[in-house]
Structure 1
């Protein structure tokens, strides 16, 4: 994953100093925009495009958003976005427009609502062909004339010589277009722009849309569509800073100059301006999932004025407030990766409630959140592992908001989220990993939600059948038979962990019978362990092993016992009982030998799943099932190997370029792994309140804890070669084991590492 020196220089300059590149765009750089101490290290281009176009890039977008905001205003380089799912690929040569909603780091695309594109000259209503300037209304662009930082995006649209600048509030996107002096300037609204309508995962379809001209500077409308989310309603209210001179609405190929309203399934509008006065055209676009009236309210509440630079500064200040929750010292590249990681982790979940608290519930009714907050975009199969544990440490108030939002789905839908998007359950992935998120918050004492209701939700969501968690089969067979449910091995081991989490909350609340029931189920992973080959292997309903078996054979999302992985990668998923897993493998020696083989076996015979990347042997850091595995040596008496492999991942599989991630960033999970690991610890079992120590690479870190105390990490002799722990002290006392606890962190204090280039095989032996 290497890039040219020139490209590195451009990325470094844009990210660190916020300097736009040469020529026209540089002349238009706002002089009144300021940057904070930590915002300056965020590079939104990290994770936006792989150098090798056959590999995963991160699937992040570079556009403007605020922390956990509803609007993410960003350029799309594809007419029908599919891969990457963010709609923006750093390797593309043209931009088709700027849409107001995006997903960050996911493996599947959706959203891309209300595309806007400024143009000049001949009016065109088709987006044109990808990477072909002059084809349709798309435009060529260059990274030398492109800038991105938190709350601000800028690009020169070369076909039109238009400098486009974007910023946003939570519900409103603000555009500033500096046109050349012309009587023939246009701004196009495209309500047909969406993910690829022909892709095979599901049918994306615009069910209906409307665009209405309210007056000579205001338009509004909506679109209703299906996609990854089964039904989405998107309402908008848009205002220009100056009146448009002419209008043309379009339905398909039919054009209607001067028409005040249009309805259909493929509608667009063009709004003409005279820019001979040299003044920029500003545009405010407010969104709501509820109504046009709420979109108007969102705009009047959040952005009544037109001061673009002020909005950029306000957004930047919001990001600075969030990023300063962890203060680190290290190399410039390390700080760029770290703070961009925090930025990506805080990009979602998104508050989909309007400013009055209205939101669309999972039963498609309109509900109201008393605290004006209702979160969605829960990529839980990914984020329960490290992102949500990170939120419990530095976003406790939002963690309570996440839990309350999940409990509202339970109220209207009958069980907790699996993968919730735009307030709608889409059933993506397996298990029900809202359970560990809620239990983790409860066990760590996060205030702000009803503990008894939370327990009812996690219990009932562990008893009621739903896609990905067939509990009636679970109760009958004590494992998932592959001939009754595909992905059976992955479902078995992941449901066992979820059950352990339910048991812990039952224990906390004194529900002894429930505890006994769920703790027993948490051991069902044993029933698919084949001692003859030493792997978790699929069984049929008759109790016989499914043959033939190859631990290297990959599964995707159905039709195979393993989910986005193989038997090697799922062998290690017993975070609730690592000693029990060690016992299954014949003790520590056998366990370590198997781990050694896992990290050194390079054979990838058979088809490798598209999500598998970032390989170290069979370890695939580009997807979540592997994320905890390097830390398992800590449990088996050889922590120096944890240190070696964690350091290798930190140093080799992350960088500060567009290809900075070794897989999809997955809504903050890939970043959160780095954030924890760079500081020297990681939640192998995210609900255990224990963190395994690894190999810190930062010189210094300070984390503000929920109680207002500071937890500090100091590292002596950090560096790529000095990956081994020589000694550790916690609050001045020598630490002899490779673990710290939640209370060690939230009570404040200091963790001190001394690193060396040689392993200390006497330290940390458990």
Structure 2
């Protein structure tokens, strides 16, 4: 069955449940299977197809691996044939796996997995269904923010209906020192269980509490701790806990399982608040409409294929960051104490900031300004206990993965865009201390002494120098905004430290040692990973372009606009293959690697150097060739929606090259028409007039509210006022373009 036909049938099914699908049913264009599994010579996105609501704490989805790892970070791989159960938390699109908490599997026999086929598997936003073949059980999943809801239909009438619960199931225990520290399962009523587990791994010392109610009474139970099995006992404690609950011969067993990072009592409250008295179908319908509400903030018209990619991308940007406070406002603070928020606020976690600061967070400031305020305030709460803003935060704890401190541009951008509800003085304190207090990968005493990161004192030195310079520029803009002249001068000086690693002869950013000597030999094609080399998940070519705060200066360092564009030409057309590529390098256009974030802004640089036709050509080429509607729909890890955010912006016709500048660079729109719903009832409309048919990808002119746009820049402030952006597109470029393979 075609994906779109399948989604249409599910929309009809929702109507048949007595729920009127909204007039603007854009959720029907989402295919949750996009990006869930690689085909030959590809990456996939590391996405998952299961049930969640926008930014929800629960992500209830099948695990097709017994111990998901790097290649199946979300727990699901479209190429697999076995389901081990349905766990309630996971990461979307990341390059490393974690969460994968509280697994349940319906069964008749005492089994721990089941075969399945895609022919008997479906998903729409907020709902997932699969037939477990081995026991002939139809499993359906839906969710609220903090509650996972299961409905199991048992077709074998001759055997008992059972549910297997596994608190030991997790991402691979061989990664990040992962281990379960303690756990408990307790039966607390004829049809209710509760418990918790404390696990450490990529996310450190995570506490996950749960409370679950079944629709049928438990007639027998078996609880296991390692190799010991206990029949019909009330509670079991340990580090390797599993249980089987027998409901007798039932046609249907439903389960509502609420989670909390704070306590079992809060998990029970979450269930009562969000799911008590509601049927499975009502919750399913509610989840679908929650997605329609969020996705409906952008109404686009384009080809059906393009709409499917667009709305699935927008969907993926809204899976995280995740709610991390309970219904009563309590949350687990970074020091493991329990705190309570003021009424109306929400605490969030899952901040993949090295990725998402580039485009996802600028997208949130446009579509989700109130939520963006909560994001920023959540980051500042980490500063209260850690002493610095998040680097990569999971379940309220920082795993310090990746380089720089890219919470800084997120915080600065939110304040400069005027988002209300942020304590600006506290935010500035957090920004300043995060960029001046030495900590892992950020030895600022070295930074201040040398004016760059020497490779013999700090590995990944070139990448850190470039990215830290940008963070310092962001801090300088906030200092200027607050009339802190001395701090402004201090951070602006540091924001130019990238110049100290620019080699005047090779015109590359190259590593130096602490004696000020160039480290030779230098190979701009050789890749680094995450330590032991001057470049992070990339090479000298890919990092050459990372001066988003001052592209005019980078153009000057390169030798002027002509030299800059010639170097860009080489970057996008080179077939050089020397040096083993980093695993994150994928989605190539020449040396450009769209599958990882350091390259994401580079196609837009031509427009800033006087050759916009090449930007338009490349942006259209990347959208057309590196995104699709299959399970391998992304050219690399989606990284908590960052790959998706690039597509959303680029399909609208602009992109935030400097994500904290409040400006966007014009590219080439995919949409024919779009309406962006803004706060206060305002609307920003994009109108695209094409001469030469659907393939007309080159911009002849751009008008904002009837006036010709000056240059290549669209300002965020102009978008938020509402109005109309009008593109006139033609099939032939003005100026030369590249000979792309």
TM-score (norm 2): 0.97
* CA deviation map 1:586-625 (0-9, x unaligned): 1111101100000011222211011111000010000000
How has the CA–CA distance of structure 1 residues 80 and 535 changed in structure 2, closer, same or farther, with 3 Å as cutoff? same
- Three-state SS of the structure 2 residue aligned to 1:286 is strand
State the shift of 1:744 in Å. Answer: 1.8
Please give the alpha-carbon distance, in whole angstroms, between the structure 2 residues aligned to 1:328 and 1:587. Answer: 39
What secondary structure, in the 3-state scheme, does the structure 1 residue paired with 2:104 have? strand
Match of 1:223 in 2: 197
Rounded to whole Å, the distance in 2 between the matches of 1:157 and 1:19 is 23
Alpha carbons 1:33, 1:309 under 8 Å: kept: no
Alpha-carbon RMSD across the aligned residues, in angstroms, is 1.7
Q: Is the 8 A contact 1:554 1:606 kept in 2?
A: yes
Q: Which moved more, 1:363-372 or 1:443-452?
A: 363-372
Counterpart in the other structure of 1:299: 271
Distance 1:165 1:215 in 2: 24
By how many angstroms is 1:11 displaced?
A: 2.9
Residue 478 of structure 2 is matched in structure 1 by 505
What secondary structure does 1:163 align onto? strand
Aligned partner of 1:145 in structure 2 is: 120
Q: 1:671 aligns with which of 623, 641, 644?
A: 644
Matched, 1:100 2:92: no
Q: Deviations over 1:642-686 (max 9, x none)?
A: 000000011111111111110000111111111110010001001
Q: 1:540 aligns with which of 502, 513, 519?
A: 513
Summarize the Cα distance change of 1:762–1:546 in structure 2 as closer, same or farther, 3 Å threshold: closer
Return the match for 1:562 from 517, 535, 543.
535
Asked if residue 66 in structure 1 is aligned to residue 39 in structure 2, the reply is no
CA distance in 2, matches of 1:736, 1:687: 20
Give the count of matched residue pairs: 731
The SS at the match of 1:229 is coil
Q: CA deviation at 1:739?
A: 1.6
1:29-428 alignment runs, 5 A limit? 31-32=17-18, 35-36=21-22, 37-52=25-40, 55-82=42-69, 83-121=71-109, 123-124=110-111, 137-180=112-155, 181-199=157-175, 202-276=176-250, 278=251, 280-370=252-342, 371-428=344-401
Is residue 174–residue 282 contact of structure 1 (8 Å, CA) maintained in 2?
A: yes
- Is residue 2:695 matched to residue 1:721? yes
Q: 1:756, CA displacement in angstroms?
A: 1.3
1:426-467 alpha-carbon deviations (Å, 9 max, x no partner): 000000000000000011101111111111110111101122
What's 1:731 paired with? 705
- Structure-2 change in CA distance of 1:474 and 1:707 (3 Å): farther
| Cα deviation, residue 259, structure 1 | 1.8
Q: Secondary structure at the match of 1:717?
A: strand
Whether the 8 Å contact between 2:161 and 2:247 is mirrored in structure 1 is: yes
Do residues 752 (structure 1) and 726 (structure 2) align? yes
Q: What is the CA-CA distance between 1:372 and the residue it aligns to?
A: 4.6
Query: Are 2:345 and 2:374, in contact at CA under 8 Å, matched by a contact in 1?
Result: no
1:711 matched residue in structure 2: 684
State whether structure 2 residue 573 is matched by structure 1 residue 600: yes
* Higher mean C-alpha displacement, 704-713 vs 529-538: 704-713
Rate the CA distance shift 1:315–1:736 in 2: closer, same or farther, 3 A: same
SS in 1 for 2:513: coil
- Three-state SS of the structure 1 residue aligned to 2:305 is helix
Deviates more, 1:697-706 or 1:374-383: 697-706
1:704-738 deviations in Å (ceiling 9; x for gaps): 22343211111112866311112222211223522
Question: Does the residue aligned with 2:300 lie in a helix, a strand or coil?
Answer: strand
Instruction: Tell me the alpha carbon deviations over residues 223-276 of structure 1, each in whole angstroms, 9 at most, x when there is no partner.
Output: 111110111011111110010211000112221111211111111000012235
- Whole-angstrom distance in 1 between the partners of 2:211 and 2:352: 29
The answer to whether the 8 Å contact 2:417/2:717 transfers is no
TM-score by length of 1: 0.93
* Residue of structure 2 equivalent to 1:488: 461
Alignment check: 8 A CA contact 1:207 1:223 kept: yes
Q: Tell me by how many angstroms 1:631 deviates.
A: 0.3
Query: Aligned equivalents of 2:694 and 2:591: distance in 1?
Result: 23
Structure 2 CA distance for aligned equivalents of residues 13 and 197 of structure 1: 40
Moved more, 28-37 or 231-240: 28-37
> What SS does the corresponding residue of 2:292 show, helix, strand or coil?
helix
Q: Does the 8 Å contact 1:237/1:295 carry over to 2?
A: yes
Deviations 1:110-140 (A, max 9, x none): 001100000113x23xxxxxxxxxxxx2111
Summarize the Cα distance change of 1:17–1:535 in structure 2 as closer, same or farther, 3 Å threshold: farther
TM-superposed deviation, 1:62: 0.7
SS in 1 for 2:679: coil
Q: What residue number does 2:591 align with?
A: 618
Quote the Cα distance in structure 1 between the aligned partners of 2:694 and 2:509.
35
What residue number does 1:23 align with? none
Rate the CA distance shift 1:701–1:637 in 2: closer, same or farther, 3 A: same
**1:115–1:704 CA distance, 2 compared to 1 (3 A):** same
- Distance of 2:441 and 2:37 partners within structure 1: 31
CA distance in 2, matches of 1:89, 1:34: 33
- Give deviations 1:279-333, integer Å, cap 9, x for gaps: x110011101111111111111111124111001111111111111111000111
Q: For 2:736 and 2:721, how far apart are their aligned partners in 1?
A: 29
Query: Residue 370 of structure 2 aligns to a residue in which SS?
Result: helix
Following the alignment from structure 1 to structure 2, what is the Cα–Cα distance between the partners of residues 720 and 497? 38
**Post-superposition offset of 1:204:** 0.5
Partner of 1:631: 604
Structure 2 residue ranges without an equivalent (≥5): none
CA distance in 1, matches of 2:432, 2:365: 21
Give the 3 Å change call, closer, same or farther, for CA 139–665 of structure 1 in structure 2: same
CA contact (8 A) 2:208 2:260 kept: yes
2: CA distance between counterparts of 1:608 and 1:658? Answer: 24
